[in-house]
Each structure stands twice: as structure tokens, then as C-alpha cells.
Amino acid sequence: YAGVAKPAAKFEPDEDSAQFAADVVSGLSETPKHISPKYFYDTEGSRLFEEITQLAEYYPTRSEHEVLREHGRAIVQHFPTGAALVEFGSGACIKVRFLLNAADKLKSYVPVDIAGEFLSIEAETLRKDYPRLKILPVAADFMKPFALPNDVADMPRVGFFPGSTIGNLDPHEASAFLRHAGTVLGRGSVMVVGVDLVKDADVLNAAYNDAAGVTAKFNLNLLRRLNRELGGNFKLDTFEHQAFYNHEKSRIEMHLASRKRQKVKVAGATFDFRAGETIHTENSCKYTPDSFRNLARSSGWTPLDMWTDKAGLFSVHALVL
């Protein structure tokens, strides 16, 4: 159970590459420049993220697995009998296995992911391992409204959003996402969310500035992707990886900083960089147990319970609507 390459990322060529180009042009036209972290995950980016999850410094994946392994039974005690488990951004469907192993209460598993083809392969594998479970994949962007399969219409629902993926959203967006999840799942639903915790800045900074430089490669791979897919002419050695903990906003920020003043072309447009100017490529927001409970409450949910790993690095919350 190593990390999961987050496939929220696999974009189908045509219509989505037009969206990619439009997002890049508008993000690089703003001050400060920014590009969404969802664009990290081309094939190489997914592979690099997988490598990140194995690094000694990168604790989140290991810590969340520990929580799900050690507290899986306690977590599923909050699930209504005969429930459908709906995972937002299921990827390789790895983490859910901890819950499926612990829960005989579940009638159905609904993995929701934008990578449709990958999704049906994962669903087939799960059907073999959990023959009593109705596996009903939905190929959709889980951030947008989508319909649940008819088969789960009369089942109680449990949502699952692991991996601290919620950390990529700023608190306002995270709140909007939790409300949206509530709309999809319906009143009375339970939601299980993996949330990375505020901690010593040295631990956070090390996790995003690993000694082997894998996170730097992951960040810079975005420029490689821009060159390949959007006809960019970024020189990779003229940009450097930056990651730091922003105390005020309780988040890790990742940037790509231009080492010099330069012009770069991408997606048919030209952009000026000052020496030191950055492209903001990711936020990874961290919460305290209470700051996340407050966010959940302000998004219509009631906190039920929370578990952490022994070292107290990562939290898994159960909420009810």
C-alpha cells in the first residue's frame, strides 16, 4: 500500500487540453502568477508523486495509512448498515481497502474519478476481491455536481475523501467542496475526510523539500509538461523549486521561481518574468483538529469523531450531515 497516483489528473486530450491552455494563459497573466496543482499529474507527475509518498521526509501517506489500518474498525462503526461508500477522487482505490476490509456493513462502493478507463480497470479488480460488494464506478469530475447511480438511491451514504486532497483547496474552497459533497450525498450522510495537521514547521518544510530532490522534480515537471503539451519554451535550469510553510495561512506553498529576468512563450502567449518572480503551483493547507471541525461546521456538517496516527501528524475525521 504505497501512495496512490492521484488521477484527478489524467486529462483526456482534446477538449481538456483547450481547458489546460486557457487555465495556464489566465494563471500566468495574473499577479502573482499561478497554475493549478491538478496539472502536476501527467504520467510522469503521477509517477513522481508516487515516489514522493515513499520518501522518509514525506509522512502524510504513511501516517494516513496507519490511521486507517489502526482505526478502521472504529471509523466504520459510524457507518449506517447497508450503506453505499462514495469516494471522491478514487484513483487506484488503495486507501478504501482499509475500510472495505473493516466493514461488512457496506452494500456498495461508488468510486468517482475523472479517469474513466483507469476507473473501470480498478473496479474490476475490486469486484474480484470483494465479491459481495456492488461496485458502481462513476466517471466524473468529483468537484462538479454528479448523479449517484440509481442502485444506491435507497441506501444510506458515506462519503470518503482521503489523502489530504482537501488541503489543495483554500479554506473557502474546501468549505464549498464539503457543501457540494453534502448535496451529492444527502441529509443524514456520513463523511470521512483525511486532513493533514499543523505541526512543527521544520517537519513540514522537510516533507516538501526532500533531500533526494524528488519534490523539486515533481514541481519542475509541470514546466516540462507545459513545453510538451502547450508548445512552451521554459528552460528548466532557469527555474527553481521553492516550498515553504506560510504560518499565517497554515499552508505549505510551492512555487517555481525564475532565476533571472526572462520571457517565456507558452500556449501561444509570451510572459515576462522578473528575476525571482514565481509561479505559485500549489497550496497544501494544514489544519488543527479544531480548525477543521470549525470548517466542517461552517459547511453544514457535524463532527462525530477524529483519529490520528501515534505521532499525531495526520488526522481522519468522521462528520455527519
Stretch that binds ligand AVJ, among 10-18, 66-74, 165-173, 180-188 (CB under 6 A): 165-173
Task: Look at the block and give the residue holding cell 526572462.
Answer: 262
Q: Is 108 in the site for ligand AVJ (CB under 6 A)?
A: no
Strands (E) across the chain are located at 33-34, 83-88, 106-113, 134-135, 138-139, 157-161, 190-196, 239-246, 251-258, 262-266, 269-273, 278-285, 302-308, 314-320
Q: Which run of H or E residues covers position 76?
A: helix 60-76
**Least spacing, CB of residue 206 vs ligand AVJ, in Å:** 12
C-alpha cell at 95: 486507501
Among 63, 90, 108, 165, binds ligand AVJ (CB under 6 A): 165
Q: Is 282 in the site for ligand AVJ (CB under 6 A)?
A: yes
Could you give the string, one character per residue 208-247, with x where binding to ligand AVJ holds by CB under 6 A and - elsewhere? x------x--------------------------------
Q: Is 168 in the site for ligand AVJ (CB under 6 A)?
A: yes
Total binding residues for ligand AVJ by CB under 6 A? 12
Dihedral sign computed on CA atoms, order 74, 8, 284, 47: positive
**Distance set, CA 229 to CA 5, 272, 279 (Å):** 20, 20, 18
**Least spacing, CB of residue 41 vs ligand AVJ, in Å:** 9
- Counting Cβ atoms within 10 Å, is residue 169 exposed (0-12), middle (13-18) or buried (19+)? middle
Q: What end-to-end distance do the CA atoms of the chain give, in Å?
A: 30
Stretch that binds ligand AVJ, among 83-91, 106-114, 159-167, 228-236 (CB under 6 A): 159-167
Among 60, 72, 89, 159, binds ligand AVJ (CB under 6 A): 60
Could you give the string, one character per residue 113-152, with x where binding to ligand AVJ holds by CB under 6 A and - elsewhere? ----------------------------------------
Per CB under 6 A, residues contacting ligand AVJ are 6, 52, 60, 163-165, 167-168, 208, 215, 282, 284
